[in-house]
Amino acid sequence: MRVLIAGAGAIGSLFAAYLSNVVRVCMLGREWHIGEIRRRGSLIVLSPDGKVIREVKDVDLATSASEISGERYDFVMVTVKAYDTSSILRELEEGDVRGDCYVLMQNGMGNEEDALRVLGDVNLVRGITNHGAYIPEPGKVVHAGVGETVLGPVAGKHAKKKTLEFAEILKKASIDVQVDHNIQKLVWWKTVINAAINPLTAILKIRNGGVVVIEDVRFLAERIIDEAVEVARADGVDLGDVRSDVFRVAERTAKNMSSMLQDMMRGRRTEIDYINGAIVRKAERYGIDAPVNKAVWKLVKALEKRKELVELFI
Ligand SMILES: NC(=O)c1ccc[n+]([C@@H]2O[C@H](COP(=O)([O-])OP(=O)(O)OC[C@H]3O[C@@H](n4cnc5c(N)ncnc54)[C@H](OP(=O)(O)O)[C@@H]3O)[C@@H](O)[C@H]2O)c1
């Protein structure tokens, strides 16, 4: 059994480390990270307090699809940011690197459509994970938080069977996993949680708790949620009392900085196009207004470009 990790950054390296105990893993990632693993001869997994939990020696490594041209994998696990889904899959196609099944282990909505546009008729599985990971320095990954992973079939004749097969592999690798045959509801749910917390915390540079305790921020979060719930309903998904869930998550993670705020602080592109942007695109398809989602989407896009714009005009 062979698994390709397409986009071995934080979450990809973490899964690579666990999976390498039970299957043959190849990590495809950037030179600064993969090169260091190559030089040292191992990928190191650290606990949040810096202790070495695992040293992974037996993995294949690649920094471009051309290095693994012609290879066939049982599963290709896609762990790039949502906006890089099309480009990495196109590179794999052009390099004649193929999988029997593709597993998108990412946040956001719209990446499944991107994947199917590039790959055509393939077995596609969606994964949502609550594990947390980050790369403190090249060649190392911190397992920052333990959580559940849920898998569900999206497309393809054998997607259901492949979902069960991949769940078994994750279980053998000691990853807590559930199978949900209606994964779209969970994808929507997670997207709404992110849509309400991420842009507001990123624009205002506040920690997650601010969404609960600052009345004006809470007001905006509620508008984002209400709009999204209406779009989800048009999309055939009843999200129930997701409003309470959002504020419960924001309270539980009150001291955390959202991933979008962290991306913004590092000057990195955010996943907003696949969160509020995806909600707005679906709203437009159904003829629904989603003005607050659109406003925060555009504000975050403007902030992403602020540095270069300031350099251009001021
Ligand atoms: N980290 C977490 O704790 C966590 C938890 C749950 C879900 N997620 C989700 O998981 C996804 C990945 O997040 P992440 O934090 O792991 O991101 P990440 O650390 O940025 O990892 C993605 C890696 O893939 C690389 N990459 C992109 N295109 C590539 C290509 N064509 N060939 C080789 N490498 C390529 C990126 O390099 P460049 O940066 O140079 O493009 C980056 O190193 C996101 O959707 C995120 O929301 C993350």
Q: Give pLDDT tens digits for 227-273.
A: 999 999 999 999 999 999 999 999 999 999 999 999 999 999 999 99
Residue numbers of the chain with a pLDDT score lower than 50: none
Task: Check if 10 has its Cβ closer than 6 Å to any atom of ligand 1.
Answer: yes
pLDDT score, position 78:
98
Task: Check if 199 has its Cβ closer than 6 Å to any atom of ligand 1.
Answer: no
Contact 88, 64 (CB under 8 A): no
Task: Check if 79 has its Cβ closer than 6 Å to any atom of ligand 1.
Answer: yes
Domains and CATH numbers, the chain: 2-181 (3.40.50.720), 184-313 (1.10.1040.10)
111-119 vs 85-94: helix crossing angle, rounded to 10: 20
pTM for the model: 0.96
The best mutation among 81, 103, 142, 275 to test binding of ligand 1, ranked by most ligand atoms within 8 Å of the C-beta, falls on 81
**Alpha-carbon distance 153 to 179, whole Å?**
9
pLDDT score, position 263:
94
pLDDT score, position 309:
62
Task: Check if 91 has its Cβ closer than 6 Å to any atom of ligand 1.
Answer: yes
pLDDT score, position 117:
98
Catalytically active residues, by annotation = 190
Q: Is 174 helix (H, G, I), strand (E, B) or coil?
A: coil
DSSP conformational letter for 269: P
Displacement of CA 92 from its chain's centroid (Å): 19
Q: How does pLDDT run across 52-75, given as a tens digit for each residue? A: 999 999 999 999 999 999 999 999
Question: Which residues, 6+ apart, have CB-to-CB distance to 298 below 8 Å?
Answer: none
Q: What tokens does 234 get?
A: 């048009």
